[in-house]
Structure formats: structure tokens, C-alpha cells
């Protein structure tokens, strides 16, 4: 349920932005979820719905998963993240702290752990639609 | 796009009385020893204490405290397990004994992630063992953590102090509170560090003599707390907080 902590962060940030923009109601929240984080979308959506405040009572949560792409800084090779053949514990560790990928993943071409996470890291608040 | 994690960090830390980052410009000056011993000393005095090892590349407090076989519980975030009466958090839960070669941006992201998801609950003190230098971790702590205090560690060496001088200057420029400066591993009487610290108008807490028996207490908390080193930490730091 560490998805709950991230959902809290999304709701808290949304409320802060809504207040800054003087919104009366939030209509839609677009959230991007990086594949590397391996969020359980069902739990995440459940947490979001449980954390609804009056300002968000009718808000629609639109979730989009962003594929994780990695690029080796040494040989420039690009590859897609995959949990296939990955040790369950390692997959869990990356789920909690995605940067742990640097501990366990290596460039499939040259074996370097010095790679960049081009896309698919973390949870992002993409946009908020609201009514004034 | 907005990173929602940044907004929740201070909420996660809102029930903590005092946050102390044990820091230095240089590595090898005894930050981890002082952070671990300080956390234990405060805990032995009845305070609720958390210890966070923020040195992601080279964590070491788990070795000092002999922490093995623990893992955070998952409950609306992650809850640091208890070790020797401390709520203890470290990257080693996830990296195990493997090297974690992280660049600046990754260090920042990992720090933000851990602060956003760790549920410390109510604590009197959170002691943070910082990585050396004035790089990403130091800047992130200053940027994200409201009300953070720095405890600065140096050795009697002019080389170590030269780096500490820059840390003190940075913190003073940014108006970040400094609990004080500790001179660790003293091998002879010299007023050099005290004078230099006072010249920078920072509080000098005192010196800790080089303790030849300290290495024998590694991994043995009871033994560690009986060392002269631990008594000095208690006298010059813990009692002043």
C-alpha cells in the first residue's frame, strides 16, 4: 500500500494548485504513472477515490502508464524496462525506490549500470481541469 | 507536469520535533559514527528517535549498528522498522549489499521518493546521516525539509576543515540553522579548529578524542555506548539538544 502515500501526494498537490488557481471544483485529474514504479493501478485508484475531498467529489481520475525506456550513458544503447525473468524481490525494491534499478539492472549491450531513465519514472500530475 | 511528491514531504515530517542532519564537507571524519551514537544516546534518554542513512552510494550505519534481517512494513507508505529502539531507515533494505552507483539526478529522485513515502510518525528527533560534501543531498535537504538543523563534523585536519568551512559558509548564506561543529578524532590539544569555527561565527560544541577502542565496538551497540567516544558524544552533543 505504498501506492496510498503517492496518491496522498497527488491529492495534496491538486488541492494546493486548485487553491492557487482559485478553483471551486476539480473536474479532471490527468496522472501519468511511470512503468518503472510498477504501481498497482487498482490500489492507486482506490486510494485516490478514498482520499477525495469535497473539492474533488466529482473529479474524474485519468491514469496513463508511461513505458519505461533506459539509455546507457556509456554506449548509448536504448532498451525497454521489463520485469520478465526479474527476481521478485528486485522488482519489489524498484517498485519502492525506482533508482534502485541502478543497483540491479545493467545495460544489456555493454553491462554498465550507468544508464539514464529516459521515460517511465515516477508518478506525475500531468494536468488539472477545474471550474472557477 | 508536476511532481506531486514534493508537496507531501513536510507533511510526512510534521510530527518530528527536531531534524538534525549530521554533515561534513569531507568523508571519513566520523559522521556515521556520530549520527548513530547520537541517535542511540538520545533514545537512551527516553526520546523517540529515528535514524535515516542518507548516504545512498556508501551507507554504513547498518554496519555500525549491526542491522540485519529487517525490512520496512508497508502501510499507507513505508514504516521504518525498529532497531535498538530507533526507527531506522536506509537504502540497504532495497540495495542489500550491492553497490548503488547513482548520479546526482538519481540521488535527488531517490531522496524525494523516500521522504515522500516514509511514514515516520511522531518522533522527538530524526537524525540524518548525510553523505559527504555540499552536493545533491545537502541541497535537497535544505530545499525540501523545513526547519532542518545541521550538526557539522570535522577532524583536526586543515584539509578536512577547509571543506567544512565551505559547508558552514553555504549554510550561513542560506540561513540554515547550525547546531554546532564537532571536532572529531582529536589526537592532541590544538585551538586551531575552535578558533576557525568561532571566526566563522558558528557554535563550536567541543572535541572528541581519537578512541583506539572504537573499532572493536563496531556492530555491538552495548559496547559502543560504553566507549569514551560515546560518552563524548553524549556530553558535547546529545545533552545540548
Distance of CA A40 to the CA centre of its chain: 10
Average pLDDT over residues A58-87: 96
The pLDDT, as a whole number, for residue B98 is 94
Q: Say what the pLDDT of residue B6 is.
A: 92
**How confident is the model over B161-171, as a mean pLDDT?**
97
Residues A92 and A101 sit within 8 Å (Cβ to Cβ): no
How far is residue B88's CA from residue B75's CA, in Å, rounded to a whole number? Answer: 16
CA of A43, closest CA in chain B: separation in Å?
11
Please give the share of chain A, as a percent, with pLDDT higher than 90. Answer: 95
Please report, in angstroms and rounded to a whole number, the separation of the first and last CA atoms in chain A: 34
Q: Do B95 and A1 touch (CB under 8 A)?
A: no
Quickly list H helices, B25-146. Answer: 31-44, 61-64, 92-95, 104-117, 136-144
Summarised one tens digit per residue, pLDDT across range B84-105 is 999 999 999 999 999 999 999 9
Length of chain B: 241
- Report the pLDDT value the prediction gives residue B77, as an integer from 0 to 100: 95
pLDDT value, residue A132? 87
Strands (E), B130-232: 148-154, 178-186, 204-209
Using CB atoms, which residue from B1, B76, B114 is nearest to A125?
B1
Q: Report domain extents, chain B.
A: 4-240
**Do residue B113 and residue A122 have CB atoms under 8 angstroms apart?**
yes
| pLDDT for position B112 | 94
Instruction: List residues in chain B touching A: CB distance below 8 A.
Output: 1-8, 11, 56, 74-78, 91, 93-95, 98-103, 106-107, 109-110, 113-114, 116-117, 119
Q: What digits encode the pLDDT tens for the residues B176-214?
A: 999 999 999 999 999 999 999 999 999 999 999 999 999
Residue with cell 590544538: B190
How confident is the model over B37-78, as pLDDT tens digits? Answer: 999 999 999 999 999 999 998 999 999 999 999 999 999 999
| A116: closest chain B residue by CA | B106
Q: Which CATH class is domain A2-131?
A: alpha beta
Q: Any idea where the domains of chain A sit in the sequence?
A: 2-131
Dmax over Cα atoms in chain A, in whole Å? 54
In this predicted model, what pLDDT tens digit does every residue of A1-54 receive, in sequence order? 689 999 999 999 999 999 999 999 999 999 999 999 999 999 999 999 999 999
H helix or E strand, kind and range, residue B10: helix B9-12
Residue A1: the pLDDT is 62
Q: What is the pLDDT of residue B46?
A: 96
Topology annotation, domain B4-240:
Rossmann fold (3.40.50)
CA-based R_g, chain B, Å: 17
pLDDT score of B90: 97
Amino acid at each position: 500500500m505504498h501506492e496510498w502515500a503517492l496518491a496522498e501526494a497527488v491529492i495534496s498537490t491538486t488541492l494546493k494548485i486548485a487553491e492557487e488557481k482559485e478553483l471551486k471544483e476539480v473536474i479532471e485529474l490527468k496522472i501519468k504513472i511511470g512503468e518503472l514504479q510498477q504501481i498497482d493501478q487498482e490500489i492507486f485508484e482506490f486510494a485516490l477515490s478514498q482520499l477525495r475531498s469535497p473539492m474533488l467529489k466529482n473529479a474524474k481520475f485519468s491514469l496513463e502508464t508511461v513505458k519505461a525506456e533506459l539509455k546507457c550513458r556509456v554506449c548509448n544503447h536504448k532498451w525497454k524496462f521489463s520485469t520478465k525473468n526479474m527476481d521478485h524481490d528486485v522488482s519489489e525494491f524498484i517498485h519502492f525506490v525506482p533508482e534502485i534499478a541502478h543497483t540491479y539492472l545493467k545495460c544489456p549491450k555493454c553491462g554498465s549500470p550507468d544508464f539514464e531513465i529516459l521515460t517511465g519514472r515516477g508518478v506525475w500530475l500531468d494536468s488539472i481541469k477545474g471550474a472557477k | 507536469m508536476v511532481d506531486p511528491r514534493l508537496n507531501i514531504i513536510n507533511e510526512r515530517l510534521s510530527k518530528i520535533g527536531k531534524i538534525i542532519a549530521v554533515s561534513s564537507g569531507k568523508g571519513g571524519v566520523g559522521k556515521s559514527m556520530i549520527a548513530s551514537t547520537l541517535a542511540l544516546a538520545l533514545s537512551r534518554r527516553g526520546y523517540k528517535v529515528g535514524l535515516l542513512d542518507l548516504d545512498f552510494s556508501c551507507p554504513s550505519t547498518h554496519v555500525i549498528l549491526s542491522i540485519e534481517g529487517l525490512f520496512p512494513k508497508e502501510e499507507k507508505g513505508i514504516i521504518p522498522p525498529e532497531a535498538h529502539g530507533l526507527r531506522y531507515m536506509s537504502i540497504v533494505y532495497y540495495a542489500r549489499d550491492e553497490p548503488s552507483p547513482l548520479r546526482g539526478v538519481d540521488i535527488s529522485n531517490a531522496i524525494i521518493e523516500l521522504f515522500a513515502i516514509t511514514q515516520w510518525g511522531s518522533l522527538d528527533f530524526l537524525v540524518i546521516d548525510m553523505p559527504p560534501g555540499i552536493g545533491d543531498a545537502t541541497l535537497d535537504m535544505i530545499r525540501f525539509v523545513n526547519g532542518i538543523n545541521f550538526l557539522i563534523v570535522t577532524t583536526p585536519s586543515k584539509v578536512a576543515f577547509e571543506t567544512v568551512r565551505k559547508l558552514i559558509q553555504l549554510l550561513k548564506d542560506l540561513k540554515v540553522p547550525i547546531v554546532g561543529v564537532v571536532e572529531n578524532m582529536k589526537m592532541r590539544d590544538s585551538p586551531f579548529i575552535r578558533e576557525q569555527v568561532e571566526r566563522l561565527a558558528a557554535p563550536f560544541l567541543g572535541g572528541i578524542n581519537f578512541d583506539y577502542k572504537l573499532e572493536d565496538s563496531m556492530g555491538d551497540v552495548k559496547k559502543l555506548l560504553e566507549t569514551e567516544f560515546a560518552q563524548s558524544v553524549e556530553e558535547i552533543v546529545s545533552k545540548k539538544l
